[in-house]
């Protein structure tokens, strides 16, 4: 029997607001989104008047949350993190790996397959983002150096075979021997090659663009900038991100990894169609302070949460973010000066388009009924996935 639901509220499209609009849903799919129609008798009505109804937020780079990390390799960890982030408006996640032993990586693939077949009240885990192991040791950040490798067809061939279609994007340092060939392979396989944790010069970035590399992972973080050699200045990846219009960027807009001024610079320079917001959240997301672990409980690195961000024990580097998606949208609106539609677009339509995430990111007929419902301050009151409410304030 067909299930028809109507959601009422102020609709946030990617380019406009429809005040007092409505979205009609049949069996989890949007059939109409726009001005109100006088046909309420046909639907079960859910009235969110006075709140924004936006597409469900998409987090394209996330390691975990709620005390869980995807590298734990268990269904409990995957579902626990996805459930935590659903409370903050996220409906789609690309679970992200860390540089780790191959066995741990392959285990994460198998776990994702199992979870995708499971019914649970959390964000949908769409596909994997591989972060590593092909990185520059100089820009490794919180990644464990002992697991770094050079990309060889033998190694990444095994990974691709084990993943069998699960990988959406892969972050690589393009200056490493073999990275250009890997980019060609990924592009042919329909996987987005991304540049990150890299010491590449702008000339390397320029070449990498012709091998499929079109996106910069956590812009500014773990990334080369201008260096001087013999008095001459050599631009790096950061400068490439601004110079080449075809390159897209993602930013951890938690207000810690990038200060207010850089959030403004990125937004004004790249715009809402070339900028993606990502949490880069680790297991400490949802935790306010104290010790935590980045990566798996077995092979991860101890760090601690302080001042709203995760730090390495020596306090010389961040160990990851503890942000949730609502915080990113709020910061882009309040700190970077983005309008509400633009701020939301950078975590809905833009990542959906750039990462090839199908039927998500827009309030459009034929798209999945995934919604984040929040007030003017981006305080989430409800999250809907496939027409079903997976979080509602005061009921969980």
Q: What are the domain boundaries of the chain?
A: 4-54+367-392, 57-354
| Contact assessment for residue 98 and residue 132, using Cβ atoms and an 8 Å cutoff | yes
Q: Which of 21, 60, 143, 57 is nearest to 345 (CA)?
A: 57
Nearest residue to 275 via CA among 211, 203, 331: 331
End-to-end CA distance of the chain: 28
Of 119, 145, 126, nearest to 134 by C-alpha is 145
How is residue 264 written in tokens?
Answer: 């403004």
Task: Check residue 396 and give its pLDDT.
Answer: 56
Q: Which residues contact residue 259 at a Cβ distance below 8 angstroms, ignoring those fewer than 6 apart?
A: none
Instruction: Give the CA angle between residues 117, 28, 378 to the nearest 5°.
Output: 95
Chain centroid to CA 310: 17
Question: How many other CB atoms sit within 10 Å of the CB of residue 34?
Answer: 14
Tokens of 310: 């995760």
CA distances from 172 to 72, 126, 302 (A): 22, 21, 24
> In this structure, are residues 326 and 375 in contact, taking their beta carbons and an 8 Å threshold?
no
C-alpha Rg value of the chain to the nearest Å: 20
Q: Is-cis flag, bond preceding 133, omega within 30?
A: yes
Alpha-carbon gap, residue 133 to 189, rounded angstroms: 19
Mean pLDDT by 10-residue block, N- to C-terminus, for the chain (396 residues)?
A: 94 96 97 91 93 98 96 96 98 96 96 97 98 94 88 98 97 98 98 98 98 98 93 96 98 97 98 98 86 81 85 81 96 98 98 98 98 98 98 82
| Structure-token match 């160990």, residue found | 319
pLDDT at 262: 98
Distance of CA 196 to the CA centre of its chain: 14
Q: Are 55 and 362 in contact (CB under 8 A)?
A: yes
Residues contacting 72, CB < 8 A, separation 6+: 64, 296, 297
| Spatial CA neighbour of 31 closest among 387, 379, 367, 370 | 367
In angstroms, rounded to a whole number, what is the distance separating the alpha carbons of residues 152 and 312? Answer: 31
Both tokens assigned to 174: 């393009």
How many other C-beta atoms lie within 10 A of the C-beta of residue 16? 8
Give the predicted TM-score (pTM) of the model.
Answer: 0.96
The CATH class for the domain spanning 57-354 reads: alpha beta
Contacts of 51 by beta carbon, 8 Å cutoff, 6+ apart: 9, 10, 373, 374, 375, 381
DSSP string covering 105-119: HHHHHHHHHHHHTS-
**Is it true that domain 4-54+367-392 has CATH number 2.30.40.10?**
yes
């Amino acid at each position: 029997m067909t299930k028809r639901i109507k959601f009422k509220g102020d609709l946030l499209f990617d380019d406009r607001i429809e005040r007092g609009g409505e979205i009609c849903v049949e069996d989890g799919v949007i059939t109409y989104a726009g001005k109100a129609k006088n046909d309420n008798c046909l639907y079960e009505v859910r009235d969110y008047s006075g709140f924004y109804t936006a597409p469900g937020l998409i987090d394209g780079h996330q390691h975990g949350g709620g005390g869980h990390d995807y590298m734990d390799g268990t269904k409990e960890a995957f579902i626990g993190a996805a459930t935590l982030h659903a409370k903050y408006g996220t409906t789609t996640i690309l679970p992200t790996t860390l540089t780790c032993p191959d066995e741990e990586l392959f285990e994460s693939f198998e776990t994702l397959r199992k979870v995708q077949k499971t019914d649970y009240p959390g964000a949908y885990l769409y596909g994997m983002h591989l972060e590593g192991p092909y990185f520059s040791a100089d820009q490794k950040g919180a990644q464990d150096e002992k697991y770094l490798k050079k990309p060889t067809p033998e190694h990444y061939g095994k990974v691709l075979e084990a993943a069998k279609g699960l990988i959406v994007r892969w972050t690589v340092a393009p200056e490493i021997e073999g990275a250009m060939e890997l980019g060609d392979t990924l592009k042919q396989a329909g996987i987005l090659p991304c540049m990150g944790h890299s010491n590449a010069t702008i000339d390397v970035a320029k070449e990498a663009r012709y091998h499929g590399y079109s996106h910069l992972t956590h812009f500014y973080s773990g990334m080369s900038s201008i260096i001087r050699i013999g008095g001459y200045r050599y631009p790096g990846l950061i400068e490439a991100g601004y110079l080449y219009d075809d390159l897209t960027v993602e930013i951890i807009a938690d207000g810690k990894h990038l200060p207010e001024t850089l959030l403004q610079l990125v937004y004004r320079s790249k715009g809402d169609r070339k900028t993606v917001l990502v949490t880069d959240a680790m297991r400490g997301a949802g935790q306010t302070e104290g010790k935590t672990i980045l990566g798996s409980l077995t092979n991860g690195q101890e760090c601690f949460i302080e001042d709203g961000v995760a730090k390495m024990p020596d306090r010389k580097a961040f160990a990851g973010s503890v942000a949730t998606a609502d915080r990113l949208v709020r910061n882009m609106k309040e700190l970077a000066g983005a309008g509400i539609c633009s701020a939301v677009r950078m975590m809905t339509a833009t990542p959906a388009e750039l990462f090839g995430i199908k039927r998500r990111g827009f309030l459009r007929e034929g798209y999945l009924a995934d919604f984040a419902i929040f007030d003017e301050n981006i305080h989430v009151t409800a999250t809907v996935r496939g027409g079903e409410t997976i979080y509602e304030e005061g009921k969980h």
